Amino acid sequence: MTAVTNQSIGNLLTKGVRNVWYPICPSHFLGEKPISLRRLGFKVVLWRDVAGRPVMLEDHCPHRGAPLSMGMPLGDRIACGYHGVEVRKDGTVVTVPGSPGCKLEGKNCVKSFPTEERHGVIFAYAGDALHPEPIELQFPEQLSSPEYSSFLCYCEWEGDYRYVYDNVMDPMHGTFLHKQSHSMSFGDTTATFRVRETPTGFVFEKEGQRNVNFDWTEFLDTGVHWMRLEIPYPATGGPGGNFHIIGAYTPITERRAAVFHWRCRKVDGWQRDTWRFLYKNRLEARHWRVLEQDRVMLEQFEPDANLRENLYQHDMGVARLRRVFRTKAEAQLKALEAAGLPLQ
């Protein structure tokens, strides 16, 4: 049996730790036809069942390995386009039209993923062999509470998804990389940070500076590895106080990440309408410009950039977050090893 090594931990981290939900794609990706995506070390097919709920299976026909996404969705099943084998949404082969009664029928041999569609996004649970049942999925109040209004902003970046987490866990880059931005030109260019524990994760914050700039970031583990932050808005940003961002990032490949941000504001009534109007007409373009600064910077990082670093006090949050992921990955692999199950 393979032992848990730095390399196996690294491999798992590259694909994303297991036993947690991940955002997969915006809801609008799913139309009439099945789609094929790479996520979390898998190639997956998605379509909608008879009730309109998203189904996600590994995009691999159990007969000869043709992509199921080239087949025909039949509600709760999909028929492979190559020889017509039908696979149910739970991964069980229901019919083999070319050879009825063959032993493939009735076999559950295609990996299936539990899904949830919430806040404009399809989420999937990636459990390992010891944890096939999904855990509870809880949303931050910015998404779950009716007091907030939000817009989803989705993009894909050419880089390791962990660089996106690192970027968001690094408030100080706001003062430099985004210094031209409308809301991040204030605040000290030097600061001392501290880590504060919370029931669901931790906050990484500037000492003695709040509501001036991008002054803190929070990591929350509530079934998804969320990031949360707030950025103060000038009066021209309209009603609603600080601008809140909820993020979560999913590996597509080793060098490509799916980036989900919900841009939120605590507004209701006429304020909600005002903000939503302002956002669409003025603010969204500004926010995209800021996000582009991050993308352009991160895409230029070498894949091994994080092997040649000299971290300082402002990077405590980054170091802490990497440790959280690494500890989880190591524990998951050790549990599989102890159970005599293959390390994935």
Residues contributing to the site for ligand FES (CB under 6 A)? 61, 63-64, 66, 80, 82-85
- What are residue 112's DSSP bridge partners? 57
Is residue 215 left, alpha or beta, with left meaning phi > 0 and alpha meaning psi from -120 to 50? alpha
Round to the nearest angstrom and report the end-to-end CA distance of the chain. Answer: 12
Q: The tokens of 178 are what?
A: 């985004």
Shortest Å distance, C-beta 48 to ligand FES: 21
Q: Which is nearer to ligand FES, 80 or 258 (CB)?
A: 80
Contact pattern from residue 244 through residue 283 relative to Fe ion, giving x for each residue in contact according to CB under 5 A and a dash for the rest: ----------------------------------------
155 binds, among Fe ion, ligand FES, none (CB under 5 to 8 A by kind): none
Phi, psi of 322 (to 5 degrees): -60, -35
Q: Which is nearer to ligand FES, 86 or 160 (CB)?
A: 86
Shortest Å distance, C-beta 228 to Fe ion: 14
Going across the sheet that includes 121-126, the strands are 20-26, 121-126, 115-118
Report the alpha-carbon distance of residue 2 to residue 344 in Å, rounded: 10
Shortest Å distance, C-beta 36 to ligand FES: 14
Q: Which is nearer to ligand FES, 85 or 245 (CB)?
A: 85
Shortest Å distance, C-beta 170 to Fe ion: 8
Please tell me whether residue 230 binds Fe ion under the rule CB under 5 A: no
137 binds, among Fe ion, ligand FES, none (CB under 5 to 8 A by kind): none
Helix H or strand E encompassing 333: helix 316-338
Q: Which is nearer to ligand FES, 91 or 127 (CB)?
A: 91
Q: Which is nearer to Fe ion, 245 or 333 (CB)?
A: 245
For residue 84, how far is the Cα from the chain centroid?
Answer: 34
Contact 124, 21 (CB under 8 A): yes
Report the alpha-carbon distance of residue 1 to residue 343 in Å, rounded: 9
Contact 98, 119 (CB under 8 A): no
Shortest Å distance, C-beta 171 to ligand FES: 50
Contact pattern from residue 289 through residue 308 relative to Fe ion, giving x for each residue in contact according to CB under 5 A and a dash for the rest: -----x--------------
Q: The tokens of 114 are what?
A: 């539990």
119 binds, among Fe ion, ligand FES, none (CB under 5 to 8 A by kind): none
Question: Which residues contact Fe ion (rule: CB under 5 A)?
Answer: 294
